[in-house]
Amino acid sequence: TGAVQWTQANLDSAKSQGLLHLERASVVPMDWKDSEQIEHAANLHSWDLMIGSDLIYTEEGVGWLAKAMASLLNFSKERRQQRPASRIVYGHTHGRIPELDQKWEQQLHAV
C-alpha cells in the first residue's frame, strides 16, 4: 500500500543521512488477520522493537491487531535465548474513533 512505500522511503532517507544506527531496521508489511504473515514477520530477524501508530479503523481490526501483537511477541519469545525481550510500541490516539477506544483496551487485556 501507499503507507508501506512511504514508510520505506522515510527509512531509506534516514539511513542515507546516517541519522541513527539503522542498519538492521526494515519495513515489513503485514496483514494482521493472516497468521502465516505474522509468523513470517516474527521470524524475519531477531527483532527488538516494532513501532506502529493509529492502526485501528474497524471493530474487527481491534481484535486482529491485538492478537497479531500477542502472536508476534510469543513467536519472538520462543526464538530468543539470551537476548532482551522484543517490544512493541504502539501510539493510539484516544478519541480518534471513540467507539473503538474501549474495545481496544478490552482486547489488550484479553490477550
Nine cell digits for residue 5: 512505500
Q: Are 47 and 34 a contacting pair, CB within 8 Å?
A: no
Q: Is 32 exposed, middle or buried (0-12, 13-18, 19+ CB in 10 A)?
A: buried
Gap between the Cα atoms of 64 and 108, Å rounded:
11
DSSP class of residue 91 equals: E
Q: Is 29 helix (H, G, I), strand (E, B) or coil?
A: coil
Question: Looking at residue 51, what is its pLDDT?
Answer: 84
Please, what is the average pLDDT of the chain?
84
Gap between the Cα atoms of 32 and 65, Å rounded:
6
pLDDT of residue 45 exceeding 70: no
pLDDT digit string, tens, across residues 62-101: 999 999 988 888 876 666 665 667 888 888 898 989 999 9
Nine cell digits for residue 3: 503507507
Task: Give me the long-range contacts of 95-99 (CB less than 8 A, separation at least 24).
Answer: 96/54, 97/56, 97/57, 99/59
Question: Looking at residue 63, what is its pLDDT?
Answer: 92
pLDDT digit string, tens, across residues 5-40: 999 999 999 999 987 778 778 888 888 889 888 888
Question: Looking at residue 65, what is its pLDDT?
Answer: 92
